[in-house]
Amino acid sequence: MGSSYQNSKKDLLNQNELYHQACEVIPGGISRNTVYREPHPSYADYAEGCYITDIEGARRIDFANNMASLIHGHAHPAVVDAVMEQVKKGTAYMMATEAEVRFAQLLCDRVPGFEKIRFVNSGTEAVMAMIKASRAFTGRTKIAKAEGAYHGTYDFAEVSQTSNPANWGDISKPNSVPLVKGTPQGVLNDVIIFPFNDVGRTLAILDQFADQIACVMIDPVPHRVGLFPGDPEFLDALYKWTRKNDALLVFDEVVTFRVNYGGAQENCHVRPDLTALGKIIGGGFPVGALAGRSDVMKVMDQRESPLLYSLSGTFSANPISLTAGRVTMELFNREAVNQLNELTRTSIDQLREAIKIADVPVSITGAGSMFRFHLKASPPKSYRETYQNKKELEIINSFIDHLFLKENILVINTGSCMFSTALTRHEIDRLTEGVLNGLRKIKPELEKLS
């Protein structure tokens, strides 16, 4: 691995040719819409640490880390060694493994609210399991979620994920907007939408369905909403409302578990009943998990009669993902968390200085080791303030393309960065330089917006 690695196909195909081949067998030529860029996606050849090299030899600094899933960057030696040792013993069995027990112990010891835990294969599955467990425990069908929040691809979880001014309705009663054409009306009827961080409006909305809501689902630092933390007052109000109305308060920490040693919930003074996990706990492999109160998690206990929720999956708790995850999280100890968060704060300070030098109306939000750029002078405080119209999207895409093509810097397509422990001050300085150049490039277009 590393700079000496050579892909035997590199001299045979360029990225455009490979994409044309892909379009013959894959709809749109890709299996993840988020990796597409005009005129074709870039194809990775190999990666190590905080650098990723494509099949044409371009080497870039990776500030995306596969959508926040790689906390130590690519191919960390300790993770690679542990995985290779397990691969030699087998990749999946129709049997339980010690790897599952050891990782479960580690995570439950790490977070006070994790009394029990179950493993699945993705963040989407974890959220799906969390919703189903909430329904099984409460006997209710409706869920409540924040407008604009991304919680994976389960029908109920994706409602109002991409609502816009044409369909989102009044802020005091947001519409439940389908993401996929053909979503059943019954799904929409069972998802209550509220505005994130708006205590008064949210409680008024929830009160209308007080005896029907199984869970109130929150991402404590929702990326798509704007990547700003939930206000303590807001989270406290939701916690008290769920206690009063016999509902569950559930957190989606698939992305935000990186924020602190015990996840973003360590920064909150309320404890969720259930938490969905994914991304970094897989150490670079597919994974998901659901953790929380013992009495709620008992709905999945096959020893119970009646069993309220039978949960299984062919690759759930596979020893490859859980071995990689355990080693990854052992390495992501308190010292590593604090160092990474401090490096991120340093980067944000430098980037804000670059924004001043460029003299552009751009702001930054974030928490822990993640942050997001906004084409606004003041940081947005709601999904509707975060929302980008067509022109704003064109400008942010131009900015991201500049970073990718001219600065050899990879960020997430929302204009977000998710740091890894593989980064050093050198890469941080390169990010600052590249962003300053990119801001200067888009400045004329930004000035037309005002």
Residues 152/127, Cβ–Cβ less than 8 Å: yes
Instruction: Choose among 83, 78, 70: nearest CA to 318.
Output: 83
261 noted as active-site residue? no
Residue 242 tokens read as 């769920």
Rounded to whole angstroms, the Cα distance separating 79 from 81 reads: 5
51 noted as active-site residue? no
Instruction: Choose among 400, 125, 89, 83: nearest CA to 290.
Output: 125
Which of 252, 273, 383, 387 does the annotation list as catalytic? Answer: 252
Burial bucket for residue 185 (CB in 10 Å: 0-12, 13-18, 19+): exposed
Rounded to whole angstroms, the Cα distance separating 374 from 362 reads: 6
Which of 279, 309, 383, 387 does the annotation list as catalytic? Answer: 279
Tell me the C-alpha to C-alpha distance, in Å, between residue 417 and each of 45, 68, 275, 298.
22, 8, 23, 37
Which of 150, 261, 383, 387 does the annotation list as catalytic? Answer: 150
Rounded to whole angstroms, the Cα distance separating 258 from 253 reads: 8
Rounded to whole angstroms, the Cα distance separating 213 from 241 reads: 11
252 noted as active-site residue? yes
Q: Which residues are catalytic?
A: 150, 252, 279
